[in-house]
Amino acid sequence: MPNPETEQFVERMGVALERLSLPRTFGRLFGLLMVADRPLSLAEIARQLQVSKASVSTNARLCEQIGLARRVGRRGDRRDFYEIEPGGFERMMARRVGVVHEMAGLAAEGLAVVGDEPSPARDRLTEMLDFYLFMGEEVEALLERWREMRDES
């Protein structure tokens, strides 16, 4: 690791992404790639993070799958190199909008479960449905606005 500040940054990213129920090593890997000045190989990542290459392999692939990083090649080299994929954050957030839709769906299901007559339960579920419909809609609009801002600048 270059310097202590970098190490601290990487470590903080580890605990930060852990709160989103991602593996600690995943966060560290992501943090390392964020401050790297060039694509890194699996072996190099393993060395810098002091974890097994097996762990790096799975986490790097997960990172790629989520859309936060990508695998790049190098001429005359058989190894895989990883670097941050631009726009990964919006992709990550777009994915989280999925759970918002799921919550809306659950609220609708709840409304089907309770009776048609007015009741506190109906009110609660209606509030839940409205809230998640609203948020799903608006956050997607926000993402769209962000993309436009990015594209035109």
Site for DNA in 70-99 (CB under 7 A): 76, 78-80
CA 108 to chain centre: 27
Asked if residue 102 binds its own copies (CB under 8 A), the reply is yes
- How far is it, in rounded angstroms, from Cα 146 to Cα 138? 12
The CB density around residue 10, as the number of other CB atoms within 10 Å, is 21
Using the structure block, give the residue that is written with the tokens 């777009």. Answer: 94
Asked if residue 109 binds its own copies (CB under 8 A), the reply is yes
Site for its own copies in 114-153 (CB under 8 A): 114, 119-121, 124-125, 127-128, 131-132, 134-135, 138-139, 142, 145-146, 149
CB of 135 to its own copies, least distance (A): 7
- How far is it, in rounded angstroms, from Cα 126 to Cα 120? 10
- Phi and psi at 86, nearest 5°, equal -60, 145
57 contact, one of DNA, its own copies, none, CB 5-8 Å limit per kind: DNA
Interface with DNA (CB under 7 A), residue from 32, 33, 39, 59: 59
